[in-house]
Amino acid sequence: MGNHFEDALFKDIFSKNKSHTGNLIKKEDLDIKGAAKISVEDDEVDGVRVILKKDANDSIKEIKFVCSCGQTKSIILDYSE
């Protein structure tokens, strides 16, 4: 039960080769950008799901709004200068 309450970290990857087809991505075509924490919050009134993607330091990198009708809007934050 030591790490039961820790946030899950997911590997944030980028595919170098855009010409692949299908669902298979080879290891040599990947570039690991870091780790990300993903949390989901539901707004029951408007039917909008808010997905927060954070880096390992809890800085928000992306805010995604998913409507129950299927439309999605994203805000990507870049902290580099």
Cβ distance 10 to 37 under 8 Å? yes
Highest mean pLDDT: which range of 16-30, 39-53, 55-69: 55-69
**What is the reported pLDDT for 48?**
85
Strand runs (DSSP E) across 1-81, as ranges?
10-15, 30-43, 48-55, 60-67, 72-76
pTM of the model: 0.57
Confidence of residue 1 (pLDDT cuts 50, 70, 90): very low
Whole-number mean pLDDT of the chain?
A: 76
Token digits of residue 7: 């946030």
Domain residue limits, the chain: 10-76
End-to-end CA distance of the chain: 40
Among the listed residues 46, 74, 43, 42, the one whose alpha carbon sits nearest the alpha carbon of residue 61: 74
**What is the reported pLDDT for 14?**
67
